[in-house]
Amino acid sequence: MESKIKVKDPELGPSRVDGRLKVTGAAKYSAEYSVKGVTYGVLVGSTIAKGTITSLDTRAAERAPGVLAVITYQNCPEIPGYHTPDQPAKGPLKIFLDNKIYFNGQPIALVVAETFERALFAGSLVKAQYNKDDHQTDLKNNLQNGIAKGKDYVRGQEDAYKTAPVKVEQEYLLPTEVHNPMELHAIIARWDADNKLTIWDKTQGVKSTQRNIANAFKIPTENVQVNAPFVGGAFGAALRTWPHEIAAVAAAKLVKRPVKLVLSRADMFTSVGYRPLTWQKIGIGATSDGKLEGITHEATGQTSVYEDFTEGVVNISQLMYASPNVNTKYKVVSLNVNTPTPMRGPGEATGAWALESALDELSYALNIDPIELRLRNHADTDPLSGKPYSSKFLKEAYQLGADRIGWSERRQQPGTLVKDGWLVGYGMGAGMFGAYRSNATVTARLQADGILVLQTAVTDIGPGTGTAMATIGAEVLGVPVEKVKIFLGDSSLPPSPTQGGSQVTSTVGAAVFDACTELKTKFKALEGGANSNDYVQLLNANKLPQLEVTTVSKGGAEMGNYAAYSWSVHFIQVLVNPVTGVVKVNKAVSVADAGHIVSPKTAASQIKGGAIMGIGMALMEEALIDHRYGRLVNNNFGDYHVPVQADIPQVEALFVNKPDPYLNPMGAKGMGEIATIGVAPAVVNAIYNATGKRIRELPVTPDKLI
Ligand code: MOS
């Protein structure tokens, strides 16, 4: 069938405004700044998972060449924020507070030395003795200890799937995944005065980091300057302020010199969160013609003993399909592990892995094409709130993707399509994520040299925020995008939200739109402005050096009447070697309904990156703990596998590219999360189609297929 949707060529649109700086190395990441008198910190981690430190011998480390300090719970400068009277019972790890150990790898010392190598060597000399307690690190053995989080959800009748004519009831396991962005988390902390501080920090939010550091050290917020003009990926790992950042700031106070702390790749596995290992059970039932009668979704994820991390794992089952009966339960189990944190598509990516697998299983039980099954249960209004959608073009997305992958070649009978000795299979999975808009402030200035300057505090962690903002500004004012200069990732700039939750293009883009519209109005009001768009000539004629506005932009109140989501559909063709069980992803097509696509090139990269992450989730990623010691065994890139070039085909990114009429003036919706939500089940569903083997425990390594 021919698609009737016109697609904007994803190769059109401006290239990355920071592309040249990045590929030439001119873009500086937080650890790359030369700060006068800088010293180097290295963390030392515990080697037990639970207990107390009984003695800590730091003498050899302190005497080692070039060492300035060994900071432990015994000598760490007081962190006043740890001692305010309103401390909750559970919360973020308070680094170097006392001798208690909650997880293996928990920092017990920070060595500061004149060079990194000397700090690293001295770290090896720190000797700890422990009083060890029995630890628990295995979720599968502790499912009975789950504590319910949030309210159980019931729509219609509970467990209605049980009495449906056709049903599937299965369990799905997602292992722990670690964000592992290319850029290691790093901070340089420099005290400029007793209560004044500059940091160069890997963070997704300079304003939130500014607040968190100020609160921890009880200094005025404006006295903390946070710089993060370039961020080398994050995926959620830099959403919050972590203990190592507090430790570096405390250390700089102690040694009275700037301290640079770059986490090692191994530290990244225990210091900056992860997508938690999660057990799920889905019961799903339908009439014999494929109308859903009920979905029951239970999930239990792991968290640390000192802090509860929760995410919306089961929400997608409440939202995605028009089932009259849905009930969900969500629990967490406290284990001797570090606290998880949001990772791209937090909750929904985990939930979609189970839901979209179960739906695929149901499609075979019904002998109905998986796309057809989804169309028969398409939600025309939001099943949770009953509200109309602000926009939803999911049906178009199914069609676009099916056409592009060649879905008509798929065989309904698994294991029957063979090419050159490889089993061929097709699979699909869908995703959704809330489309949001919050508040942001943007300064827009048109200068006499013709340059449009845009300033706002938001960080660009890689999705192309700067490029999208420059594009919006250029379009509103009708100037070439090459004439736009954008400044971001700096806490002294006008406030913007943290980069996260797929809301930055909508929120900050709207603020850029508003500021540039206001600027345009100001030009119109100038002498001669009514008849000219030549801003430079207008400035000159009116003897003005520049024209500038600062605009506060807020989310639209009318959104209360609508349910706003972005949608995605992912199509995968796999080749499976029947002898070795090796899986090759041969084709990947991801389609997004993300409203109007503001910046096609960076948007396509965003979608491709999400697909690659989902392929990694399906086939490779798994952080493994040796439960005898409660210690991670694959905390490095040799043993923790992520996809490399050779694992990934040319991923095609397609967009429905129809504006959302309500969310913001551009009609844009977010796409950071939906890029990865639904990809992993699409891969696993394709493997089933190729082999007839249903794998319900990720990742699908070859041993599970032979
Ligand atoms: Mo994200 S998990 O929106 O950084």
For residue range 61-116, list pLDDT tens digits in order.
Answer: 999 999 999 999 999 999 999 999 988 999 999 999 999 999 999 999 999 999 99
Q: What is the pLDDT of residues 364-422, one digit of tens each?
A: 999 999 999 999 999 999 999 999 999 999 999 999 999 999 999 999 999 999 999 99
Question: Of 459, 680, 659, nearest to 564 (Cα)?
Answer: 659
Determine the residue of 177, 179, 240, 344 to mutate for testing ligand 1's pocket, defined as the one with the most ligand atoms within 8 A of the Cβ atom.
Answer: 344
Extract the runs of DSSP E, i.e. beta strands, from 291-368. 292-304, 326-335
Residue 501 beta carbon below 6 angstroms from any ligand 1 atom: yes
Among 688, 693, 701, 650, smallest CA distance to 426 is for 688
Q: Cβ atoms within 10 A of the Cβ of 148, count?
A: 11
**Residue 9 pLDDT:** 52
Looking at the CA of residue 343, tell me the nearest atom of ligand 1: 2
Integer Cα distance of 398 and 393 in angstroms: 9
Tokens 């028969």 identify what position? 376
**333 contacts 305 by C-beta, under 8 angstroms:** no
pLDDT reported for residue 465: 97
pLDDT of residue 493: 98
500 Cβ closer than 6 Å to some ligand 1 atom: yes
Choose the residue to mutate in 178, 208, 209, 235 for probing ligand 1, maximizing ligand atoms within 8 Å of C-beta: 235
Measured in Å, residue 458 CA sits from the centre of ligand 1 at: 14
Residue that the structure tokens 């999911």 belong to = 394
pLDDT, residue 557, reads 75
Q: By three-state DSSP, how is residue 515 classified?
A: helix
The minimum-distance atom of ligand 1 relative to the CA of 204 is 4
- Closest C-alpha among 520, 513, 536 to residue 596: 513
Residues of the chain below pLDDT 70 = 1-11
Do the Cβ atoms of 225 and 198 come closer than 8 Å?
yes
* Atom 4 of ligand 1, nearest CA residue: 236
Cα of 425 vs centre of ligand 1, distance in Å, is 31
Dist. CA 683–CA 670, nearest whole Å: 23
Ligand 1 atom with minimal separation from the 234 CA: 4
The backbone torsions φ and ψ at residue 265, rounded to the nearest 5 degrees and listed phi first, read -60, -40
Please state, as a whole number, how many other Cβ atoms lie within 10 Å of the Cβ of residue 624: 14
d(CA 655, CA 598): 11
User: Tens digits of per-residue pLDDT, 557-567?
Assistant: 778 899 999 99
**Distance from the alpha carbon of residue 345 to the mean position of ligand 1, in angstroms:** 7
Please indicate whether residue 337, judged by its CB atom, sits closer than 6 Å to ligand 1. Answer: no
Q: Cα of 203 to ligand 1 centre, how many Å?
A: 12
CB of 345 closer than 6 A to ligand 1? no
HSE, side-chain direction, 13 A CA sphere, residue 242: 29
Please state the atom number of ligand 1 nearest to the C-alpha of residue 345: 2
Task: Give yes or no for residue 343 CB within 6 A of ligand 1.
Answer: yes
Q: Which residues contact 554 (CB under 8 A, 6 or more apart)?
A: 439
- The rounded distance, in Å, linking the Cα atoms of 22 and 28 is 8
The number of the ligand 1 atom at minimal distance from the alpha carbon of 235 is: 4
CA–centroid distance, residue 206 to ligand 1 (Å): 15
Closest CA to 426 of 196, 655, 585: 585
SS3 call for 572:
strand
Whether 377 contacts 285, CB under 8 Å: no
End-to-end CA distance of the chain: 36
Q: What pLDDT is stored for residue 439 in this prediction?
A: 96
Q: Is 342 in the pocket of ligand 1 (CB under 6 A)?
A: yes
The position carrying tokens 């995410």 is 311
Tell me if 51 CB under 6 Å of ligand 1: no
Q: Is the CB of 434 within 6 Å of ligand 1? A: no
Is any ligand 1 atom within 6 A of the Cβ of residue 149? no
Ligand 1 atom at shortest distance from the alpha carbon of 346: 2
Question: Rounded to the nearest whole angstrom, what is the distance from the C-alpha of residue 677 to the centroid of ligand 1?
Answer: 12
Structure tokens at 280: 């799920």
Ligand 1 within 6 A of 239 CB?
yes
Ligand 1 midpoint to CA 344 (Å): 5
Nearest atom in ligand 1 to the alpha carbon of residue 501 is 3
pLDDT digits (tens, 9 = 90+) for 11-57: 677 899 999 999 999 999 999 999 999 999 999 999 999 999 999 99
Contact predicate 258/38, CB 8 Å = yes
Task: Establish whether residue 344 lines the binding site of ligand 1, counting it when its CB lies within 6 angstroms of any ligand atom.
Answer: yes
Q: What is the dihedral of CA 98, 104, 109, 111, to 10 degrees?
A: -170
pTM exceeds 0.85, yes or no: yes
pLDDT at 558: 72
Query: Could you tell me the sign of the dihedral formed by the alpha carbons of 146, 152, 158, 164, in that order?
Result: negative
In 3D space, the residue among 287, 297, 366, 293 whose CA is nearest the CA of residue 323 turns out to be: 293
Q: Are 71 and 144 in contact (CB under 8 A)?
A: no
Cβ-Cβ contacts under 8 Å for 250 (sequence gap 6 or more):
71, 76, 77, 79, 96
For the Cβ of 236 lying below 6 angstroms from any atom of ligand 1, the answer is yes
Q: How far is the CA of 592 from the centre of ligand 1 (A)?
A: 18
Q: Which of 178, 239, 274 to mutate for ligand 1's pocket (most ligand atoms within 8 Å of CB)?
A: 239
Q: Is the CB of 312 under 6 A from ligand 1?
A: no
The C-alpha atoms of residue 301 and residue 140 are separated, in whole angstroms, by: 10
Active-site residues, by number, are 673
Total Cβ atoms within 10 A of residue 703 = 7
Name, in order, each residue with C-beta under 8 angstroms of 31's C-beta and a sequence gap of 6 or more.
184, 186, 188, 200, 260, 262
Task: Give the position, in ligand 1's atom list, of the atom nearest the Cα of 342.
Answer: 2
